[in-house]
């Protein structure tokens, strides 16, 4: 689990750097669209083949896409959308009204 978290952090950091570079090149992004760029996997096959960003109803998100082969042998792509990486390493925020247990014995 820790290894996956570390890998996710590295992926997010690299993705953030790539987005900053792309934002310098792209000033006008249309709503309800996305832009993908080939990703340098740097020897890690689990990294996405393409990364980029999207704008949906005025809200920006990051996009990761992997090339796959179905069991029937047909190529397809699958993807993931996430809120933009903000670079803070603080603890995740608890939503309002979240059940907090202050009586934890440790």
Q: What is the pLDDT of residues 34-92, one digit of tens each?
A: 888 898 888 898 999 999 889 999 898 999 999 999 999 999 999 999 998 776 554 45
List the domain boundaries for the chain. Answer: 2-82
Paired strand residues for 53 = 35, 62
The pLDDT-based confidence of 102 (bands split at 50, 70, 90) is low
User: Is residue 88 classed exposed, middle or buried when 0-12, 13-18 and 19+ CB atoms within 10 A define those classes?
Assistant: exposed
- pLDDT at residue 18 tops 80: no
Q: What is the CA radius of gyration of the chain?
A: 17
What pTM value is reported for the model? 0.57
User: CA 57 → CA 16, 37, 47, 51, distances in Å?
Assistant: 21, 22, 28, 20
Higher pLDDT, 11 or 64: 64
pLDDT of residue 6: 79
Higher pLDDT, 79 or 99: 79
Residue 95's CB is within 10 A of a number of other CB atoms, namely 6
């Amino acid at each position: 689990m820790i290894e996956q978290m570390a890998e996710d952090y590295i992926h997010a950091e690299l993705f953030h750097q790539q987005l900053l570079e792309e934002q310098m090149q792209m000033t006008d992004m249309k709503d309800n669209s996305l832009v993908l760029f080939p990703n340098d996997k740097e020897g890690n096959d689990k990294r996405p083949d393409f990364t980029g960003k999207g704008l949906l109803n005025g809200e920006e998100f990051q996009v990761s896409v992997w090339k796959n082969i179905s069991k029937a042998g047909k190529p397809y792509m699958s993807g993931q959308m996430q809120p933009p990486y903000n670079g803070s390493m603080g603890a995740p925020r608890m939503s309002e009204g979240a059940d907090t247990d202050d009586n934890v014995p440790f």
